[in-house]
Amino acid sequence: MTSYSGLTARDVPEARQDLIDWSTGPGERVFAQRGRPELSGALAASATHAELFYITADMASLARTIGQGLDVYALAADDLPAPHGLLVWDGPASSEHAGAAPTAVAWMSNGGRLFVSLLVPAAAYRNWCASHSLEAARSAPSVTAGRLVYRGHGPRLLLDGPDTPWERLGCGPDEETIRTLLATFILIRQPVEARRSLHEVEDVLPSRASQKRIRRAGGDPTQAVRYVTLRQSLRPEGGGHDAGEHARRIYRHRWFVKAHRARQYYPSRGEHQTIWRGPYLVVPAGCEDAPILGGERVNVLRR
């Protein structure tokens, strides 16, 4: 079955090699012509040192839903799953029309900032160009890079800064994609002290054919893809700060708590740190099979 992004987890290493080859060759000339040679270096560094991630289609939908519910932008360096990465969603990261919606990003952190490159599937891009006039295709900002298309750089995102309202972040039309990316980071990096982990990780090697092509291109064919399967989390039974409240009241429902900012104390550091909590499903004692309030959003959690 063909994936929405045109890539499976085993294809990601080859896609990464395509990005490296393009950003250090044709892409370098394209950026130089536009007067932005530094963007070629940022994309090349992102891809060369990237850890690889693949998010399944239903979990990409979950990340989009969570991202739209984030009240503010806030991203700490500790929230990043890796300093450099290439992440592919098997689904659109925004509601833009087909051919324009990013399904992958490459990122690098440097100097307290996160540089994000937006990528779309090459097949969807070609279809989009075919549906537009030649003049529109020529003026399109995207350039092809193998199985992915470089659509442009997103805003330079501040790390470890204050909570910022989205309208002041300056994302413009890329806000929905940045929201989805932040939600994906939050889900992957969920703290696990007080609840089950929200993700399972499996390393997947590229196919033998892809390994041969990567080796011929001078890349490392042994680098695995980190296949991230996200899943819902549950509060521990009888634990957590809500246990006393649950004991005093009788509940007949379960409910979701959306992602929110909270202060977390770290005994090893002797200090508090503001982190993202949630989303998680609150399950009062005796309500393991009770209806879920806000059930219209439950579908994004199904596999």
The per-residue pLDDT for 97 is 60
Are the beta carbons of 203 and 225 closer than 8 angstroms?
yes
The per-residue pLDDT for 4 is 66
Q: Does residue 204 register a pLDDT over 60?
A: yes
Query: Which residue stretches of 24-117 are H helix?
Result: 26-33, 37-48, 57-68
- Give whole-number Cα distances, 122 to 88, 145, 158, 263, 300, in Å: 13, 8, 30, 42, 27
The per-residue pLDDT for 232 is 44
Instruction: Kindly state the helix (H) or strand (E) to which residue 228 belongs, with its residue range.
Output: strand 225-230
Provide the 8-state DSSP code for 166.
G
Spacing of C-alpha 44 from chain mean position: 19
d(CA 158, CA 180) in angstroms, rounded, equals: 16
The per-residue pLDDT for 159 is 93
Q: Does residue 177 register a pLDDT over 90?
A: yes
- Other beta carbons within 10 angstroms of residue 97's beta carbon come to 11
If DSSP codes are grouped into helix, strand and coil, which group holds residue 152? strand
Q: Is 222 exposed, middle or buried (0-12, 13-18, 19+ CB in 10 A)?
A: exposed
Please give the residue that has the higher pLDDT: either 107 or 242.
Answer: 107
* 250 phi/psi in degrees, rounded to 5: -105, 120
Are the beta carbons of 221 and 211 closer than 8 angstroms?
yes
Over the chain, what is the mean pLDDT? 75
Amino acid, single-letter form, for residue 27: G
Determine how β-strand 148-153 pairs with β-strand 143-145. Answer: antiparallel
Amino acid, single-letter form, for residue 79: D
pTM of the model: 0.66
d(CA 126, CA 99) in angstroms, rounded, equals: 8
- Other beta carbons within 10 angstroms of residue 58's beta carbon come to 17
Q: Quickly tell me which residue has 């079955």 as its tokens.
A: 1
Task: State percent of the chain over pLDDT 70.
Answer: 73
d(CA 87, CA 148) in angstroms, rounded, equals: 12
Please give the residue that has the higher pLDDT: either 242 or 7.
Answer: 7
If DSSP codes are grouped into helix, strand and coil, which group holds residue 179? helix
Q: Does residue 55 register a pLDDT over 60?
A: yes
- What does the angle CA 275 – CA 46 – CA 259 come to, to the nearest 5 degrees? 20
* 67 phi/psi in degrees, rounded to 5: -60, -40
Spans of all domains in the chain: 9-230, 243-301
What pLDDT, in 10s, does the model give residues 69-103? 898 999 988 888 889 999 999 888 888 765 568 88
Q: Does residue 278 register a pLDDT over 80?
A: no
Task: State percent of the chain over pLDDT 90.
Answer: 10
